[in-house]
Structure 1
Amino acid sequence: MKIIVLGAGVVGTTSAWYLARAGHDVTVIDRQPEAGLETSFANAGQVSPGYSSPWAGPGVPLKSMKWLMMKYRPFVFWPLPDPHLWKWLLQMLENCNSAAYDRNKGRMVRLAEYSRDVMRDLRAETGISYDDRQQGTLQVFRKQKQLDAAGGDIDVLRQYNVPYEILDAQGCLKAEPGMAAAAHKIVGGLRLPGDETGDAFLFTQRLAELATAQNVTFMYDTTIRSLQMENGRITGVQTNRGLHTADAFVLALGSYSPPLLRPLGLNLPVYPVKGYSLTAKIMDEARAPVSTVMDETFKIGITRLGDRIRIGGTAELAGFSTRLRAPRRATLEHSATDLFPGGGDMETGTFWTGLRPMTPDGTPVIGRTSIGNLYLNTGHGTLGWTMACGSARVLADIISGKMPDIPHEDLAICRYG
C-alpha cells in the first residue's frame, strides 16, 4: 500500500520506519530541510516510561496557581483570546480527578513501557546510536510531602511490573554522585532503573537515514496546505509542490495537526504546550549527572548526553509562539546549578524552545479516524521521544491489518466522542 506520512519529527520518522518494515511504500512530507528539526530537536532527552503521567490530576488546578506565583515557575499561562485554548483547558479540568488520572496514567505507562521495549529491539537490530545510555532515571524530592505523594504513582508502577526503588538522600547521591554539594536539599527520590536517555534529534536523523535505505522517500522543504477529501476518503495532500496522492495518510504533525483536521469535520483536542531546554558543555565530570535527574519541585529534567548536559522543562501556554523568554532560561539554570553546581557551562549553553502537542488527558491519539484511510499518530505532549517507537509500531500494525501487541482501542480519537 502507498502511504504518505505527514511530519518528519521523531513520531513521523518512526512511523515511516515501521510502515516500511511492514512492506508499505512510504513517503514522508515535511516543511523543514531535514528530519527532527522542530519539537524533536532539543527535548529533555529522556526515555522515561515510568514517569509517564498525565498533567491533569487531583489537585493540579490548585497547584498550578501556586506554580504561577513561584520565582522559578514550572508553569506559565498567557490568557490568549483563543477558543481552542479555553476548550482544551476545560477538557483538561474534566480529567483532574483520581479516576481519570489512574485511567490515563495506566494507558500511558502501558504504551511507554511497550515503546521502550520496541526501541531496544530496534537498537539491537540496526545498531543505531544517539548518545544513548541505559542507566535509569531519578526523580528527586526536595520536600517530604513530595515523597509521600509518590505512593499513587508507585501503585501504577506495581500494576505494570515496572521496577523501581525508593531512595533516601544518601541513596540518591549513590545513584547520582554529582549532586553531593546539594545533599542537604534532598529528602529522597524515586529511581526507575529501566528508563533510558538519549538525543532525540540524533535518533531521528539516523533513523531517517536507515529508513531511506529501506526505500522511504523524504520530501523536505514542502509546505502542507490541506487534505483533499472525496466520498469519505482522503484523495491527496495539497502542498506548495502540488497534490500528492496515496492509498492511506498518517498525520504526525504534532501541534499543527488540528488545523488540518477541522475542515474535514474532525476535532482533535491537541494544543501546543511550550517547553524550553538549555544544552551546556560538561565542565566537571564529577559534578555532572550520570543519567537523568527529575527535579520534582521545578518540573525540570537534567540529562547527560555524551559530553553535554540537557536541561529541559517548563509548561507555557502561549499559543504557537516560539519566542525565547529569559525568565524561562533562568528557571532551567537555577535547577541545574542548584543540584549540579559547577557541572556544566550554563553561560554559553544553547537556549531552545519547542511546542509540545498535548492532549487534555495526556495520552497520545493513535489509530483510525472516521475517515477510512486517514490515521493519526500525534498528541504525545512531553513524551514523544519516550513513546515514539511503540506508537509507530502500534500504528503500523493497525494499518497492516495486524493485531497490535498491546491494547490500543483507548488510544484512538474516538475516545473523545
Structure 2
Amino acid sequence: MKIVVLGAGVIGVTSAWYLAKAGHEVTVIDRQQGPALETSYANAGEISPGYSSPWAAPGIPLKAMKWMFQRHAPLVLQPRLDMHRLGWLAQMLRNCTSAAYAVNKSRMVRIAEYSRDCLSDLRTETGIHYDERTQGTLQVFRKQEQLDGAGKDIEVLRADGVPFEVLDRAGCVAAEPGLARTADKIVGGLRLPGDETGDCFKFTNNLAEMAASLGVTFRWGVTVEALEAEGGRISTVRTDQGRITADRYVLAMGPHSPQLVRHLGLNLPIYPLKGYSLTIPIEDENLAPVSTVMDETYKVAITRLGDRIRVGGLAEIAGYDLSLNDRRRATLTKSVTDLFGGSGDPAKAEFWTGLRPMTPDGTPIVGATPIPNLYLNTGHGTLGWTMSAGSGRLLADLISGKKPDIAHEDLGYARYIKGGKTSRAQGLQPANA
C-alpha cells in the first residue's frame, strides 16, 4: 500500500521504518528541514518503561495547588482562557483516582515494555547507535514520604512483572557513584535495572537514513494545511506545495494533531505540555551520572548521553508558547547541581523547550479511527522516546492486517468514543478545498 506519514519526529520516523519493513511504499511529510527538530530534539533521553506513569494521579490536584506557590514547581499552569485546555483539564481530573491511575499506568507500562523490546531487536538488526546505555534508571527520593508513597507504583511494577529494586541511601550511591558527595540530600530510591538511555535526536536521524535506504521518501519543508475527505475517507493531504494522495494516512504530528482532524469530527483529547531541558558538557566524569537519575522532588531526569548530561523535565501548561523561561532553567540547574554538582557547568548548557502531546489519561493514541483509511500514532506525552519503537511496530502491524504482539484495543481512539467503536465514520465532513 501507499502510505503517507504526517510528522517526522521519533514517532513518525519509527512508524515509517516499520511500515517500510512490512513492504509498504511510504512518504513522510514534515514542515522542518530534517527529522526530530521539534519535540524529539532535546528530550530527557530516558527510555523508562517502569516509570511510565500518567500525570493524572491521586493527590495531583492538591499538589498542583501547592505547586502554584513554589518557585521550583514541577508543574505550572499559566492563566489563560482556553476552552480546549479547560476541557482537557476536566478529563485529566476525572483520571486522578486510584482506580483510573492503576488502569492507565498498567497499559502505559505494557506499550513501553513492548517498545523497549522492539528497540532492542531493532538495535540488534541494524547496529544503530545513539549514545545508548542499558544501565537502568534510578528514581531518588529526598523525603521519606516520597519513598513511602512509591508503594502504589511498586504494586503495578510487581503485577506487570517489571524488575525493580528498592534502595537505601548507600544502595543509591552504589548504583550511581556520582551521588556520593550529595548522598545526604536523599533518603533512598527505586531502581529499574531494565531501563535504558539514549539520544532521541541521534536515533531518529540515523533511523531516517536507514528508512530512506529502504525506499522511504522524506519531503522536508512541506507544511500540511488540511486533510481532505470524500466518500467517508481521506482523499488527499493538502500542503503548501500541492496535494499528496495515498491509500492510508498516519497522523503523527504530536501536539498539532488535533487541529488536523477536528473538522473531520475527531476530537483528539491532546494538549501540549511544555517541557524544558539543559544539555551540559561533562567536565568531571567521576561526578556525572552513569545512566538516568530521576529527581522525584522536581520531576526532573538527569541523563548521561555520551560526553554530555541531559537535564530534562517539568511541565508547563501554556498552550503553544515556545518562549524560554529562565525560572524553569533555574529549576533544572538546581536539580542537577544539588545531585551532581561539579560534573559540568550549567552556564555552558544548551537551553531548550518543546511541546509534549499529552492525553488526559497519559496513554498514547495508536491505531484506527472512525475514518477507514486514517490512523493515529500520537499523544505520547513525555514518553514518546520510551514508547516510539513499540508504537511504530504496533501501528505497522495494524495497518498491515497482522495480529499485534500485545493487547492494543485500549490504546486506540476507541476509548474516547461512547461504546468504544471505531468501525464507522462519525461526523465526517469534507474539507474545504
Cα distance in structure 2, aligned partners of 1:318 and 1:118: 34
In the other structure, the counterpart of 1:321 is 321
What is the DSSP-based 3-state SS (H/G/I as helix, E as strand, rest coil) of the residue aligned with 1:323? Answer: coil
Gaps of 5+ in 1: none
- Offset at residue 266 of structure 1 (A): 0.5
- Offset at residue 181 of structure 1 (A): 1.5
In the other structure, the counterpart of 1:284 is 284
Cα distance in structure 2, aligned partners of 1:368 and 1:148: 40
What is the DSSP-based 3-state SS (H/G/I as helix, E as strand, rest coil) of the residue aligned with 1:238? Answer: strand
- Offset at residue 70 of structure 1 (A): 1.6
Which amino acid in structure 1 is aligned with residue 191 of structure 2?
R
Structure 1 segment 85-104 matched on structure 2, within 5 A: 85-104=85-104
- Offset at residue 345 of structure 1 (A): 1.5
In the other structure, the counterpart of 1:232 is 232
In the other structure, the counterpart of 2:426 is none
What is the DSSP-based 3-state SS (H/G/I as helix, E as strand, rest coil) of the residue aligned with 1:101? Answer: helix
**Range with bigger deviation, 381-390 or 181-190:** 181-190
**Range with bigger deviation, 25-34 or 178-187:** 178-187
Report Cα offsets for 1:245-303 as digits up to 9, x if no partner: 00000000000000001011100000000000000000111100010000000000000
Aligned length in residues: 417
What is the DSSP-based 3-state SS (H/G/I as helix, E as strand, rest coil) of the residue aligned with 1:387? Answer: helix
In the other structure, the counterpart of 1:148 is 148
Cα distance in structure 1, aligned partners of 2:289 and 2:224: 40
Cα distance in structure 2, aligned partners of 1:346 and 1:59: 33
- Offset at residue 80 of structure 1 (A): 1.3
In the other structure, the counterpart of 1:206 is 206
In the other structure, the counterpart of 2:384 is 384
Cα distance in structure 1, aligned partners of 2:314 and 2:96: 19
Report Cα offsets for 1:376-395 as digits up to 9, x if no partner: 00000000000000001000
In the other structure, the counterpart of 1:44 is 44
- Offset at residue 330 of structure 1 (A): 0.2
- Offset at residue 405 of structure 1 (A): 0.2
In the other structure, the counterpart of 1:273 is 273
In the other structure, the counterpart of 1:343 is 343
Cα distance in structure 2, aligned partners of 1:288 and 1:399: 44
Cα distance in structure 2, aligned partners of 1:194 and 1:34: 31
Cα distance in structure 1, aligned partners of 2:78 and 2:152: 31
- Offset at residue 68 of structure 1 (A): 2.0
Over the residues paired in the alignment, what is the CA RMSD in angstroms? 0.5
Query: Is 1:393 matched with 2:393?
Result: yes
Query: Is 1:255 matched with 2:255?
Result: yes
- Offset at residue 82 of structure 1 (A): 1.1
- Offset at residue 408 of structure 1 (A): 0.2
Cα distance in structure 2, aligned partners of 1:208 and 1:62: 43
- Offset at residue 413 of structure 1 (A): 0.7
Which amino acid in structure 1 is aligned with residue 95 of structure 2?
N
Cα distance in structure 1, aligned partners of 2:66 and 2:313: 17
- Offset at residue 159 of structure 1 (A): 1.2
- Offset at residue 33 of structure 1 (A): 0.2
Gaps of 5+ in 2: 418-433
- Offset at residue 72 of structure 1 (A): 1.0
Cα distance in structure 1, aligned partners of 2:295 and 2:258: 32
Report Cα offsets for 1:75-108 as digits up to 9, x if no partner: 1111211110000000000000011000000000
Structure 1 segment 70-89 matched on structure 2, within 5 A: 70-89=70-89
Cα distance in structure 1, aligned partners of 2:142 and 2:412: 38
- Offset at residue 38 of structure 1 (A): 0.4
Which amino acid in structure 2 is aligned with residue 215 of structure 1?
G
In the other structure, the counterpart of 1:218 is 218
Report Cα offsets for 1:14-61 as digits up to 9, x if no partner: 000000000100000000000000000000000000000000011110
- Offset at residue 211 of structure 1 (A): 0.1
- Offset at residue 73 of structure 1 (A): 1.4
Structure 1 segment 62-141 matched on structure 2, within 5 A: 62-141=62-141
